[in-house]
Amino acid sequence: MAAIDGLPPLREVIAAHGLSARKALGQNFILDLNLTARIARAAGDLTRADVLEVGPGPGGLTRGLLAEGARKVVAVEKDARCLPALAQIAGHYPGRLEVIQGDALEVDLSGRLAPPVRVVANLPYNVGTELLVRWLTPPEWPPFWTSLTLMFQREVAERIVARAGDDAYGRLAILAQWRAEPRIVLDLPPQAFVPPPKVSSAVVHLDALPGPRFPANPRTLSRVTAAAFGQRRKMLRASLRSLAPDIEAHLEAVGIPPTERAERVSLEQFCALARRLDEA
């Protein structure tokens, strides 16, 4: 029986193209097209956007994105075995799906996507986190993307949205919240995937802000948070000493007790400290 978009059900696609999941590529596929449609909708209005999809696999989410009206989808997939299945989808949506075989950490996408660009991906955990950090730290802001809608292990999703004082609070939260607005939009149990992973997952949606929430030099903020969270159990006067010999005075000047620990310092306070160190 054909699925709602007229293409074959994903189980048939996987069987027809021999797409047995490979652990080395982090392959946990979503076969429920209602679920992939929900993830596509969580990305926002796609009808006036180009979408960058990373890791389309057999194309469940790709089909969701196209059915939700994405102007164009550029999909980057490392596993060549998936290409025939993706070509079938491209044929069904003429001119709207461009598939690039390659490693998302290496491909050059310049000139392929027109703004606004929404990025959507269900990726292996390590690749997802590395790409997220890259997308959050471009040389210029605003970045090439308007929004990111990404699948993570639930525990990583919590690190992205954590607030000062939360156990999960750290550099990822600072990076994600300084110039973007992240929120968890969907929780998925292991059984949502084939094969099921060991842990629960969550979809995080991030909207790019037009500019930073609080002014700071990105490199200084990065150095400060790397030092502070690199030794998160230490008091800041110890963990930040390498940044400035008179760090206690700088901390006090911006209202942070020198005995405080990184996990209790807000984004606003880290930005104030970064500015202060640049002025010194």
Residues placed in the known binding site for S-adenosyl-L-methionine: 28, 30, 55, 77, 103, 122
Question: Contact region for ligand SAM (CB under 6 A) — 56-64, 174-182, 206-214, 226-234?
Answer: 56-64
Task: Select 46 or 271, whichever has its Cβ closest to ligand SAM.
Answer: 46
Q: Does 55 bind ligand SAM (CB under 6 A)?
A: yes
121-to-23, 84, 96, 260 alpha-carbon distances in Å: 17, 20, 17, 37
Question: HEC profile for the chain?
Answer: CCCCCCCCCHHHHHHHCCCCCCHHHCCCECCCHHHHHHHHHHCCCCCCCEEEEECCCCCHHHHHHHHCCCCEEEEEECCHHHHHHHHHHHHHCCCCEEEEECCCCCCCCCCCCCCCEEEEECCCHHHHHHHHHHHHCCCCCCCCCCEEEEEEEHHHHHHHHCCCCCCCCCHHHHHHHHCEEEEEEEEECHHHCECCCCCCEEEEEEEECCCCCCCCCHHHHHHHHHHHHHCCCCEHHHHCHHHCCCHHHHHHHCCCCCCCEHHHCCHHHHHHHHHHHHHC
| Interaction between residue 119 and ligand SAM (CB under 6 A) | no
Per-residue binding string, ligand SAM, 82-101, x by CB under 6 A, is x-------------------
Select the residue interacting with ligand SAM from 7, 14, 28, 224 (CB under 6 A): 28
229: nearest Cα among 181, 169, 158: 169
Q: How far is the CB of 260 from ligand SAM (least distance, A)?
A: 39
186 binds ligand SAM (CB under 6 A): no
The closest alpha carbon to 88, from 63, 64, 120, 54, belongs to 63
Using CB under 6 A as the binding rule, whether residue 75 contacts ligand SAM is answered as no
Residues annotated as binding site? Answer: 28, 30, 55, 77, 103, 122
The strand pairing partners of 203, in sequence order, are: 151, 186
The CB-of-90 to ligand SAM minimum distance in angstroms stands at: 15
User: Which of 7, 14, 67, 127 lies at the binding interface for ligand SAM (CB under 6 A)?
Assistant: 127
Query: Site for ligand SAM (CB under 6 A): which residue of 66, 99, 123, 157?
Result: 123
Stretch of 19-27, 88-96, 140-148, 210-218 contacting ligand SAM, by CB under 6 A: 19-27
Q: Does 54 bind ligand SAM (CB under 6 A)?
A: yes
Q: Does 56 bind ligand SAM (CB under 6 A)?
A: yes
Encoded one letter per residue, x for contact with ligand SAM by CB under 6 A and - for no contact, window 238-277 reads: ----------------------------------------
In the complex, what is the shortest distance from the CB of residue 121 to ligand SAM, in angstroms, rounded to a whole number? 7
The length of the chain in residues reads 280
- For residue 277, the minimal CB distance to ligand SAM (Å) is 36
Measured between alpha carbons, how far is 194 from 258 in angstroms, rounded to an integer?
Answer: 49
Smallest distance from the beta carbon of 123 to ligand SAM, in angstroms? 5
The footprint of ligand SAM (CB under 6 A) covers 25-30, 54-57, 60-61, 76-79, 82, 103-105, 122-124, 127
